[in-house]
């Protein structure tokens, strides 16, 4: 290998083009949609022939907070008070009182000793795993269906990464027994899984962690604002003492930025060792203002999560009764599992043709064979929006049986 001449620039470009063509042939090439409107109950999609107004089923703004006037006003106030950007990383000069205020609010809300705000939820996972699994004798044990940010954090960390079968307590127990000699073990799960919308058996997982002396990290990104008392997530609902809870302001809080809640010492360790926290500019003040206001919104309207679950439940039941492969659940995420790439793309295109935006979810976001549409129900949607969706899916279902050449809705789940 060392004796071959290096590839020319032209050869490298050709290889990259070939890689993209292969992705396209596999139905896995991704494109960036451009939206000319807020990402609300409807959106305006830029398309080659012009613009199209579509019903939007792809936003994780579950409570519809991002476009509530009071949340936008709070963002504007924070922007006017602190400026458009934070200016630097928190440990340099970027630590503004709005960052600390959000941390205090989150810690209080989740009854945690402390919290740390990061620029994204992705960064929160990276910085936690790098900080806590910092030596070769450390082990990270994650559920197979954990988010890419947990996987990437585990890859970046010095410790060894192991996986257990999704929601399988016996397999987790096995991995914990296998690693009894490790210096430090971290078990990573999500209270609500991002692509399936199902929930982790947190009580059993927490008991196993205690029994084996492992730390428990629960990513509550899709649970905050959706389940638990007043939307406080899965741990709060079940009385589970996770060592660290990860969250994001980018979903139910209608803003941007990640957070970590837990014991002071663990948070301090992340402040000192979490490179993606240390070496990245603090979140913009407007995002902090918006997130704080959304927490106020949840406090003043604690019925919102329950309403969201009820409305999502109605859509889930309707789709299941139409015969689609939709797993049971109670979150705002409704996966319609169709199997391989092509039927997922076809179903997405069919919905688009009828005015509904629901992109196909394909590997590597989901395992091969688990392609799906992932519908997010939000409180921004009106009853008539949901009704339209259900009608279009009923019509798609009958055409689907007739036309789909591929395995169709009976494909394997994730």
Q: Does 372 bind ligand PLP (CB under 6 A)?
A: no
Angle at 142 between CA 131 and CA 90, to 5 degrees: 30
Question: Is the CB of 234 or the CB of 305 nearer to ligand PLP?
Answer: 234
| 166 carries an active-site annotation | no
| 147 carries an active-site annotation | yes
Question: Nearest distance from residue 122's CB to ligand PLP, in Å?
Answer: 4
Catalytic residue, chosen from 131, 149, 194, 276, is 194
Q: Does 248 bind ligand PLP (CB under 6 A)?
A: yes
Question: Is the CB of 57 or the CB of 400 nearer to ligand PLP?
Answer: 57
Contact 297, 71 (CB under 8 A): yes
Question: Nearest distance from residue 399's CB to ligand PLP, in Å?
Answer: 31
Contact 323, 409 (CB under 8 A): yes
For residues 336-365, which are near ligand PLP according to CB under 6 A?
none
Q: What is the CA radius of gyration of the chain?
A: 22
For residue 44, count other CB atoms closer than 10 A to its CB.
15
Among 61, 114, 190, 243, contact with ligand PLP (rule: CB under 6 A): 190
Residue nearest to ligand PLP (CB): 121
Query: Which residues, at least 6 apart from 291, have a Cβ–Cβ distance to it below 8 Å?
Result: 102, 249, 253, 254, 255, 256, 257
* Residues facing 261 on adjacent strands: 115, 245
Query: Which residues, at least 6 apart from 199, have a Cβ–Cβ distance to it below 8 Å?
Result: 191, 192, 193, 223, 227, 234, 329, 330, 331
Q: Does 331 bind ligand PLP (CB under 6 A)?
A: no
Among 153, 159, 231, 258, contact with ligand PLP (rule: CB under 6 A): 258
Q: Does 120 bind ligand PLP (CB under 6 A)?
A: yes
| 314 carries an active-site annotation | no
Angle at 369 between CA 30 and CA 150, to 5 degrees: 65
Among 128, 209, 218, 221, contact with ligand PLP (rule: CB under 6 A): 221
Q: Does 56 bind ligand PLP (CB under 6 A)?
A: no
Query: Which residues, at least 6 apart from 358, have a Cβ–Cβ distance to it below 8 Å?
Result: 57, 58, 348, 351, 352, 373, 374, 375
Question: Nearest distance from residue 279's CB to ligand PLP, in Å?
Answer: 17
| 296 carries an active-site annotation | no
Question: With CB under 6 A as the contact rule, which of the stretches 24-32, 121-129, 266-274, 279-287 interacts with ligand PLP?
Answer: 121-129
Question: Nearest distance from residue 181's CB to ligand PLP, in Å?
Answer: 30
| 190 carries an active-site annotation | yes
Q: Does 121 bind ligand PLP (CB under 6 A)?
A: yes
The stretches of 258-356 forming alpha helices (DSSP H) are 264-273, 275-278, 285-300, 304-322, 341-353
The catalytic residue positions are 60, 147, 190, 194, 219, 222, 251
């Amino acid at each position: 290998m060392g004796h071959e001449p290096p590839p020319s620039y032209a050869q490298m470009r050709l290889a990259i083009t070939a890689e993209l063509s292969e992705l396209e042939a596999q139905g896995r090439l991704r494109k960036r949609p451009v939206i000319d409107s807020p990402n609300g109950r409807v959106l305006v999609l830029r398309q080659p022939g012009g613009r199209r107004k579509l019903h939007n089923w792809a936003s994780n703004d579950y409570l519809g907070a991002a476009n509530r006037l009071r949340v936008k006003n709070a963002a504007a106030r924070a922007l006017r008070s602190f400026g458009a950007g934070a200016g630097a990383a928190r440990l340099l000069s970027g630590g503004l009182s709005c960052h600390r205020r959000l941390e205090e609010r989150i810690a209080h809300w989740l009854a945690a000793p402390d919290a740390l705000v990061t620029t994204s939820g992705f960064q929160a996972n990276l910085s936690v795993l790098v900080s806590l699994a910092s030596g070769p004798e450390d082990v990270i044990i994650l559920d197979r269906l954990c988010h890419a940010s947990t996987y990437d954090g585990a890859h970046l960390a010095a410790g060894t990464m192991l996986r257990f079968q999704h929601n399988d307590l016996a397999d987790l127990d096995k991995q914990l027994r296998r690693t009894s000699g490790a210096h430090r073990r971290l078990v990573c799960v999500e209270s609500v899984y991002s692509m399936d919308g199902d929930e982790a058996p947190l009580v059993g997982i927490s008991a196993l962690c205690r029994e084996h002396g492992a730390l428990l990290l629960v990513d509550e990104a899709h649970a905050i604002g959706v389940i638990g008392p007043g939307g406080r997530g899965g741990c709060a609902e079940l009385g589970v003492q996770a060592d660290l809870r990860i969250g994001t302001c980018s979903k139910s809080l209608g803003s941007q930025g990640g957070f970590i809640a837990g014991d002071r010492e663990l948070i301090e360790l992340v402040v000192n060792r979490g490179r993606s926290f240390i070496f990245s500019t603090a979140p913009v003040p407007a995002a902090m203002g918006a997130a704080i206001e959304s927490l106020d919104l949840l406090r003043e309207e604690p019925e919102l999560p329950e309403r969201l679950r009820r409305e999502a439940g109605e859509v889930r039941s309707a789709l299941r009764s139409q015969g689609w492969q939709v797993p049971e659940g109670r979150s705002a995420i409704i996966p319609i599992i169709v199997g391989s790439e092509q039927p997922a793309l076809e179903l997405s295109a069919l919905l688009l043709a009828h005015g509904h935006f629901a992109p196909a979810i394909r590997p590597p976001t989901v395992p091969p064979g688990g392609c799906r549409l992932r519908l997010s129900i939000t409180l921004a949607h009106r009853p008539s929006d949901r009704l339209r969706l259900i009608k279009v899916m009923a019509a798609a279902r009958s055409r689907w049986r007739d036309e789909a050449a591929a395995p169709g809705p009976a494909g394997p789940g994730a």
